[in-house]
Structure 1
């Protein structure tokens, strides 16, 4: 067992003295007094129970034992530094690896622009993107598997463990095939579609949640013929005529050749509030601070109150 007097601080003082050669130069480098440096070296000798130096006038001359300790102590300090760095990187803290989570639909516009902005702010940032449902993204955030997530928040969302930065608000519309003869300029009553078939995302997605709030308000249980696990498959099913769906407006510009989005009466307040969320305990992480700054810029451009 190591003697309690053998500390990392004393080894660092010892190494500084060995490089400097004099107590005065070591003290200046360490911002300590010469007395403190001398005391640390003497205490180290007591802990090792062997001499490291011989006194020649006012000078301390290293013995072979000091030279051996210098070589091995440098290895210890280097190994400890690498251990600390590896530990932090494994925990995702203060590394160049940034793990961002997002909803599938946000990859159409929001995610590429945010990633491009982040790369301009910090070119050496290695961004790993995870696409998943609202529910699973939150779960991975709390498990420290993700650094920040781009999700849809329910009205009145509040969690003291999280820092939230609103990005924009998106309305929910009825998705029909591009060749549908329904009038795009006229608001539809969802109740009129009670006899139609629908396709939805699986449980846990924000669009699944919003769809069933709208169905409940319209007073009917939809005939869901298929559930899919990503919004791109959902759009393909609507385009092929498998069924109608409720989708956020942000998908319209990209898929206007496959589907049309029609406004619905009485659900104008059902909106997807898109926000960046990170754990409050980690918001001072430099990588997350860069993400917050980029999200603020994006929110200002899109009119959200950041």
Structure 2
């Protein structure tokens, strides 16, 4: 196969990269097969394609590139210098495609596939490990890619296709997401151990209207819930410190830097007292969310079914 003249190519050198890739991709395996055997007939037999199809694919590939990839030597073909250069890159590209295909097939395997699962920081110490332990009793080979983050960041990753499922609060209400309420978690007013309110067991949130609050940063679900509960109690919280993690907030409370509305700790922390809030009702809903219209792999479907079966029994204790 010799093409001494290239009077016209399908794309100019300035053509869009996406266009040239779309043209070339179906022909790369054909090219690599002929380059490996140096024989169109033999390559066609090995690849189980008609010889005429293979010959046409090579001609069009050379036309698209605008260079000769082969020269004929008797009944065989030999790579030109340009063909040898092209072959190296093609073989690497095809190997990468094969690796990627193997990886996604493995991730979708019902017994050993992978679930990309996001959850709130506050659920990482006890809730999520307990859930995974219970799920893997019946699905021991399923693998997990775990992501801890605040709610809005996880929903962004869900929309970007980086997560299959996430546990979050508040339960999102968005047209592009599906969300199901699983449980709720009581919130407590955490005060320093030497605070005037520390001798109480219960408190109305309005009684803390003059206190300085330590809260999570704006954008966190718990911050939004805190602001909403304080508004319902008739005041706007006076925020002294903002953080990114609830146990850091407890440390700030223990240091006497303010009070905080927080879910129960995994382990009791010295230096603070946690009061039951009687009014307004202080709780946050925990739900699972996924992208609407997404096609679940078998391991994702199994884990989703498991989470939904835990409604009302998601949280420890």
Q: TM-score, normalised by structure 2?
A: 0.63
Q: Which residue of 2 aligns with 1:255?
A: 268
Match of 1:15 among 33, 56, 73: 33
Q: Is the 8 A contact 1:178 1:256 kept in 2?
A: no
Q: Which residue of 2 aligns with 1:266?
A: 279
Match of 1:26 among 45, 64, 79: 45
Unmatched segments (≥5 aa) in structure 1: 31-35, 55-61
Q: For residues 3 and 173 of structure 1, do their structure 2 counterparts lie closer, same or farther at Cα, with a shift above 3 Å needed?
A: same
Q: For residues 290 and 46 of structure 1, do their structure 2 counterparts lie closer, same or farther at Cα, with a shift above 3 Å needed?
A: closer
Q: Is the 8 A contact 2:115 2:143 kept in 1?
A: yes
Bigger fraction of residues in helix: 1
Q: C-alpha distance in 1, partners of 2:299/2:54?
A: 43
Match of 1:290 among 291, 294, 299: 299
Q: Which residue of 1 aligns with 2:287?
A: 275
Q: For residues 6 and 105 of structure 1, do their structure 2 counterparts lie closer, same or farther at Cα, with a shift above 3 Å needed?
A: closer
5 Å matches for 1:11-160?
A: 11-12=29-30, 15=33, 18=37, 26=45, 30=48, 37-44=50-57, 47=60, 62-65=75-78, 75=88, 77-82=90-95, 84=97, 100-114=117-131, 125=143, 127=145, 129-131=147-149, 133-143=150-160, 148-154=165-171, 157-160=172-175
Question: SS at 1:284's partner residue?
Answer: coil
Question: SS at 1:65's partner residue?
Answer: strand
Q: C-alpha distance in 2, partners of 1:160/1:86?
A: 35
Q: For residues 254 and 193 of structure 1, do their structure 2 counterparts lie closer, same or farther at Cα, with a shift above 3 Å needed?
A: same
Unmatched segments (≥5 aa) in structure 2: 1-7, 12-22, 63-67
Residue 63 of structure 1: how far off its partner (Å): 1.2
1:191 corresponds to 2:206: yes
Residue 21 of structure 1: how far off its partner (Å): 9.6
Deviations 1:6-38 (A, max 9, x none): 8735853983895999779938x63xxxxx613
Deviations 1:227-285 (A, max 9, x none): 22221111112233332211124x2x4235454433222332x532223334346x436
Residue 225 of structure 1: how far off its partner (Å): 2.8
10-19 or 226-235: bigger deviation:
10-19
Q: Which residue of 2 aligns with 1:204?
A: 219
Q: C-alpha distance in 1, partners of 2:208/2:248?
A: 22
Aligned residues: 276
Question: SS at 1:255's partner residue?
Answer: coil
Q: TM-score, normalised by structure 1?
A: 0.65
Q: Is the 8 A contact 1:188 1:265 kept in 2?
A: yes
Residue 101 of structure 1: how far off its partner (Å): 4.1
1:181 corresponds to 2:227: no
Q: For residues 11 and 232 of structure 1, do their structure 2 counterparts lie closer, same or farther at Cα, with a shift above 3 Å needed?
A: closer
